[in-house]
Each structure stands twice: as structure tokens, then as C-alpha cells.
Amino acid sequence: MKKEAIILVGGRGTRLQGVVSDRPKPMALVGGRPFLTYILDRLADLDFERVVLATGYMHACIEEYFGSQYAGIEIRYSREEEPLGTGGAILQALRLCESDEVFAFNGDTAFDVDYDTMREALHRQDAVLCLALRKVPQLSRYGRVCVAEDGRVLSFEEKGAASGEGLINGGVYLLRKSWFEQLPLPQKFSFEKDLMEVRVGQDPFASVAFDCFFIDIGVPEDYAKAQTLVPLSRAKYLFLDRDGVINRHIQGYVTRWGEFEFLPGVCQAIARLSQRFDRLFVVTNQQGIGKGLFTLDDLQQVHRRMLAEIAQAGGRIDKIYVCTDLKTSGSPNRKPAPGMARQAQQDYPEVRMEASVMVGDMRSDLQFARNAGMTAVWTTDEVSPQEAAEAREFIEKDPTGVLVCRNLAEFAGLCGC
């Protein structure tokens, strides 16, 4: 059975028109890339074989960008000539699917559910539909989904009918095509209102609650948050500056182990990040060697002790890249030039810059991230006023967004680890 999904990408996105007016909402740029690419990248990583894009508004923008395949996924198009509603769009798109079990969700939402768990729930409960649910601390803004202990959906409550903690519809569905197509449905209808809420007591609906990354870019405030949170959620490779991120800045250069001091919580943070990222690298400018103030052997002794402390805490660094060239040399390997990132790609061919994050405390680190095509993260705890002003000037001019946090421990928390 093919792993297939339908993604609804045909809406106008009127609430986002003031910010994104030249393209359909799923093609809105996030971190310099269309938002839809992040969704498809994840499906590719999970071995989905076919995706049907249910297009409508500005369909040519989507069709011309993706063509017939993306990242190994076969792409098909189900174009609405007139708005069909979410249900009508899914019904039409199902005709291009071969499997009886098909996922469906919106192209303006990233909800990193476990698709295999949803499939298991569908089978375990012999259901015709499985919903991905989210737990929220306050239900007043949402409609509640009421479920039994085994996950069976009992009913849907209107928005504002309940308050306090509860479960809401996350907008990701696994449905049986044979059930869906045999229903007496009109051409245009709402999947949520006209189908789920009507048939919840007649047909068996399963559900799984997830507490994982979720964002909807449908309003300007969330679209702004997405600029850094979405690339971060998809990142697999982590690059770290050393001085000011891993260890404290000192006057001059760290030339021996006695001058090296870990920042609070760093070893524990790296241990957590080692579970989250496939590869971790350190990239550090060390022109003190180029100036003759200490030797490469001195530096390597410091790094051996540093790596031992990190390993003792349960973390790892896959490789440390060092540039000893002077600032005035114009070296392609000295940050902000991306040379050390290119070295990592040569050593680890699986590393992709668009799936990488750079954490640093200096403007040159942020520029390095941009020059290499990474997501940039700025840590502020060890930054002098002048360095902070330089970094903020860069951030204000950067169109793709920089994530700001106090230190590496806070960054690890933002990564969900």
C-alpha cells in the first residue's frame, strides 16, 4: 500500500493578504523557502510516495514550482475550478489516490504527528477516520473534541462551549477512501462541519492526541513566528560557535585548559541536543594561532579536555572545525565566510545547509549562517554592548529572521529537548 497524502493548498488566505499577496498562502516564504516545502520535506523523510496537491487560488504558482515530483515524492494535482470546500476538495483529490488509507491536511499548517501511530489507531479501533488531536491549556478559543479512554471520538463541541484544558482538532486526518466515496455527499461541502460533525455518532472515528511541534501560518503574528520556528523544527544538523556559546569569553584568547570555563548548563544542553540533532559541529575562528600567541597543539589539548567533559555529561561533538587565519587575510574559511560549513559537507555528505542551524553570539556567526544557507540563532548572555548593537543591526536588516535566546540551554528548550 502506497503512503499517500492529500494537502489542501487552494484557499485564498485572506487573513494573510496584508503580508503575503503575491502567492497562495502555502507558498508564503518562511526562512526564504515556500512553507509547503517544509511539509513535503518531512513527508519525504517519512517515505511518502505520492502527494496530491488540491489547488485552486493561484494554482499555477504551485504547479510551476513543484512540477511532477519533489524530493522523490510523486506530485499530482487536483485543481478546483471553483471553491469546493474542504470536503469537496478532498473528495475530488481522492480520485488520484490508489491506496484505501490516505492522509489529508492543510498546506498552511505544520503538525509533526506520528503517522504510523495514527494508522495503528485506525486499525485497532476498526475506524473509518482517525483524527490527530492537540492538547491545549485553554479551550475557549477552540472547539473541543470529546473522546473515550480508548481514543474513540464521541462528539464535537462548538468554539467557546468549554474552557480550561482539553483536546482540539489538529487538522490532520487519516481516512478510508472506500468509506468516504460511498457516502451520499454533495460536490461542495465542509469536511469538518458537514461530514465529521454529522456522522460522528454513526461511523467509528478514532483519534490520537499529540504533543509535538505545531504552527499555523494563517495570521500575520504566527507567520512571523514561523520564520525561525519552522526551519528550526526541521533542522537535523547543528553548528555551534565556541567562545561565548560553549565557554566564557575572556580577555584575549583561551590558550590552555586553565583558561577555559564552560558556561552554566552547556554540557547538559549539548547532551540533550545530541539526542535531537543527527550531527553536531563546532566552528571557531582562532586567529591567535595565526598571530603566534599559541599553537595548534595547545588548542587541540583544550579541545580534547572540552570533548571529554561533554562526553561525560552524555553529549557529543562530531567534529571541530578551526580557522587559524588572520581577520585581514580574506580567508574563505574564516567566519563570516562559509568555508568551515563547506568542510563539514565534504566530511559528512548527508549534511544539508537548509536543514542546518548555526548558534553564535557574534554578528559574524549570524552572517556565517546566512552565507552558508542555515537558520541563524543568536545567544545574548556573553555579548558586550558593542557586539549586541552590531548583531541587532544585522537582525533588523535580515529578511528571513533570526531566533534570539539567552544561551545554549534555552536554545535546547526551544528545540523541545
Separation of alpha carbons 334 and 325, rounded Å? 7
Alpha carbon distance, N-terminus to C-terminus of the chain: 34
Query: Does 243 qualify as catalytic in the annotation?
Result: yes
Separation of alpha carbons 293 and 24, rounded Å? 56
Sign of CA dihedral 19, 354, 361, 413: positive
Query: Does 241 qualify as catalytic in the annotation?
Result: yes
Residue of 41, 108, 241, 325 marked catalytic: 241
| Alpha carbon separation from 125 to 119, 204, 206 (Å, rounded) | 10, 8, 7
Buried b / exposed e over 179-210, threshold 16 CB at 10 Å, is: ebeeeebeeebebbebbbbeebeebbbbbbbb
| Alpha carbon separation from 371 to 40, 59, 232, 336, 374 (Å, rounded) | 24, 32, 17, 7, 8
Q: Which helix (H) or strand (E) holds 30?
A: strand 29-30
The candidate with the shortest Cα–Cα distance to 119, out of 108, 107, 132, 109, is 132
List 175's β-bridge partners, or say none. 102, 129
Separation of alpha carbons 96 and 219, rounded Å? 31
Residue of 41, 47, 112, 243 marked catalytic: 243
**Radius of gyration of the chain measured on its C-alpha atoms:** 25
The candidate with the shortest Cα–Cα distance to 290, out of 328, 249, 347, is 328
Residues with active-site annotation = 241, 243
